[in-house]
Amino acid sequence: MATRDSMDNLMQQVEDTIRFAEEQYKESNLQEQYNDDGYTNALQQLEETYNDISKMAHSANSQQREQLHRMRLQIQQLQNSMIIETH
């Protein structure tokens, strides 16, 4: 079972990563090609966070796995939106 602290830390990481990626996504819509580094960095952070969620799922109980699954879906939705976006 994953510890409460490790789950809390991961949840905070997910929230921070999503917030940063959403900011970069919005900024890229305004600045187009001028924000390539931030946009790419946000996509990398999303991928790393997705991988961290997957790792945590291996040691999680069923309730935690459900919570991790919802976080993974949030990450995937944002990744898809950012990848599909032509900027």
Q: Are 75 and 45 in contact (CB under 8 A)?
A: no
For residue 67, CA distances in Å to 6, 59, 61 come to 13, 13, 10
CB within 8 Å of 7: residues ≥ 6 apart: 56, 60, 64, 67
Report the domain count for the chain: 1
Look up the pTM and report it: 0.86
Residue 35 pLDDT > 90:
no
| Mean pLDDT lowest among 5-9, 37-41, 53-57 | 37-41
Per-residue pLDDT, averaged over 11-27, amounts to 94
How much of the chain, in percent, has pLDDT values that exceed 70? 92
Structural domain containing residue 61 = 4-84
How much of the chain, in percent, has pLDDT values that exceed 90? 70
pLDDT value of position 21: 95
